[in-house]
Amino acid sequence: MVLARLALPGLIVIGLLIDDRTRPIDDDSAETISLDAENTVSGDKSLTSTWYCPTAHSRELEVGGVDARTELIVTNTAAEPTRVSVYLISPTSARQLLHLEVPGLSSRSLEIGDHTADELVSALVEAPISGVAASRRIHSTFGSDVAPCSSVVAKAWYVASGDTQADARSQLVIYNPLPIDAVIDLSFASEAEVGSYSPRELVGLVVPATNTISVDIGAHVRRRDVLSATVKARLGSVVVDHIQTFDGSSGRVGFSATLATATASTSWYHPVAVLGESERVSVVMTNPTELVADVEITVVSGEGETDSVVTTVGPYDVTEVQVLPKAEEKLVANTLFTSFESFGITVETSNGIPIVSGMQLTSGPLGSPGKESPEQELLLGSDELGEVQLPVDRESGLSLASGAPSGSRSWLLVLPDVEGEVLVAIQNTSSSSASASVTRYGKRQRYEVKLAALATKHLRIAAGSTIEVNSDSEVVVSAVHQELKGAGLSSVSGIRFAGGADE
């Protein structure tokens, strides 16, 4: 039975206030961050719900920009209905206010493109009760992805996996929701160099109060296959999205929109990955400290932990580990082999150094610059924007998903209304067995799931569902979906409920 989360009524906060969960950070070091830096559905201790969405709409222009059309999804986990305020923030227009009625224990969506045509738009979502969450399904010419909005603003944000090759576009959207200007420094690390690099023009960059900027990473760094980014605010706090596109000119096609992570941790959990003939998996780790991190990456099945590999991530550097089928096993550095087609991943440091871990999922042609796919798989773009035609019935996609640094006993998972089923995963982070219940809002359906110690369980659930997961011990929840006969590979991150961690 779904637990009703009744909240005290309160007033919507008009304007932008500094979130009391904004965390300080020492610029000279990184540490394991508390759950205050992670997205949470607010509990009874909060009178309101506030969410920050860096990318709510964006138009591709000849001089820059990216094609991003957003369906904003607002979920009400309380039993009482609420009226949500959505503020659209743009550098080129006045702030616009929209309202959305959301019944209790339900989700409602809003097409942002129906209300704005600005070049770059962020959204602030406010509700007068606790228990409200916001996420996005973001569409592009080259596919779609699902990304949560953020319930926190922070001093530091990390992007684990980017690509700046000739067929790729990697962009940061940086949203300052606070009433003071933010001053930020950007730095990057790649697999080809040792340590980090800070372009002079991206040091001391100003993000105006209650405004948004975008940064084309490829305009400031060399062409690289594996790239990480760090955004640090020396003044104020911000929220950061990472948008990555493969345009098909070398074969691979994909679009990923990901909320960056504000957390560095000694452990990371990725509940679901899919490996197959046209599906590929890799784990990318970045180290924001001045010490070498010793890392073990482990495949997690329904029975528990199985294959693993050990590697290192240098100071202020990035490392990628490929996950390949067991049939291809050979002696190759930074490669993990498994016989499973669907599985989870655990990433842990053995020497106590906090890192950031992300997972890259791709499907379809593999071709990249210098390793192009056969000519029939290449996409030839039109001279006019937005007229690239994707091959009919060809599955392809890209998803760059952050892991979870710890488990929780209660999770919210909002599955967008897409074709087919969604592969939902529950990963047990404890060394003892666990029992979890999976409940769909608006349906009299409840699943009971048994989990072995340190194991992951995969379920196929109908799309368009809002799911609550409650467990007797800490777990991590996420999902993945491949659009059938089309471009679009999405990872859906679970959002923990406040107070859901094992205390």
Q: What are the backbone dihedrals phi and psi of residue 114, each rounded to the nearest 5 degrees, phi first?
A: -75, -10
Largest CA distance in the chain: 61
The pLDDT value given to residue 31: 43
Strand pairing report for 356-363 and 397-402: antiparallel
Handedness of CA 465, 466, 470, 476 (dihedral sign): positive
| 3-class DSSP assignment, residue 328 | helix
Mean pLDDT of the chain: 90
Give pTM, 2 decimals. 0.91
Say if 267-363 and 408-497 have the same CATH topology. yes
CA-to-CA separations, 83 to 9, 76, 262, 405, in angstroms, rounded: 12, 10, 29, 32
375 contacts: CB under 8 Å, gap ≥ 6: none
Rounded Cα distance between 245 and 253, Å, is 8
| 3-class DSSP assignment, residue 200 | helix
Handedness of CA 324, 326, 327, 328 (dihedral sign): positive
Q: Where do the domains of the chain lie?
A: 267-363, 408-497
SS3 labels along 351-365: CCCCEEEEEEEEECC
Q: Which CATH fold would you assign to the domain 408-497?
A: Hypothetical Protein Tm1070; Chain: A (2.60.290)
The pLDDT value given to residue 503: 42
SS3 labels along 297-320: EEEEECCEEEEEEEEEECCCCEEE
Q: What is the dihedral of CA 427, 437, 83, 45, to 10 degrees?
A: -80
- Token pair, residue 270, equals 């990725």
Q: Is the pLDDT of residue 138 over 80?
A: yes
441 contacts: CB under 8 Å, gap ≥ 6: 2, 105, 106, 107, 465, 466, 467, 468
Considering only CA atoms, give the Rg of the chain: 21
Reported confidence tier of residue 447, pLDDT bands at 50, 70, 90: confident
Instruction: Please tell me what DSSP assigns to residue 376.
Output: G
The pLDDT value given to residue 142: 92
Q: Which amino acid is at 385?
A: L
Burial of 443: CB neighbours in 10 Å, binned 0-12, 13-18, 19+: exposed
Handedness of CA 455, 461, 463, 465 (dihedral sign): negative
The pLDDT value given to residue 14: 32
Reported confidence tier of residue 387, pLDDT bands at 50, 70, 90: low
Reported confidence tier of residue 13, pLDDT bands at 50, 70, 90: very low
Contact 138, 66 (CB under 8 A): no
pLDDT digits (tens, 9 = 90+) for 419-431: 889 999 999 999 9
Give the residue from 213, 225, 217 showing the smallest Cα distance to 197. Answer: 217
Rounded Cα distance between 216 and 241, Å, is 12
Any bridge partners for residue 265, and if so which?
A: 355
pLDDT digits (tens, 9 = 90+) for 42-96: 998 899 999 999 999 998 876 667 889 999 999 999 999 999 999 999 999 999 9
> Per the CATH hierarchy, to which homologous superfamily does domain 267-363 belong?
TM1070-like (2.60.290.11)
What mean pLDDT comes out for the span 109-119? 95
Place of tokens 């009625």: 101
Alpha helices in 347-432 (DSSP H): none
Give the residue from 161, 171, 157 showing the smallest Cα distance to 68. Answer: 171
What mean pLDDT comes out for the span 179-191? 97
Give the residue from 317, 344, 338, 341 showing the smallest Cα distance to 326. Answer: 338
Place of tokens 């209905």: 81
Reported confidence tier of residue 117, pLDDT bands at 50, 70, 90: very high
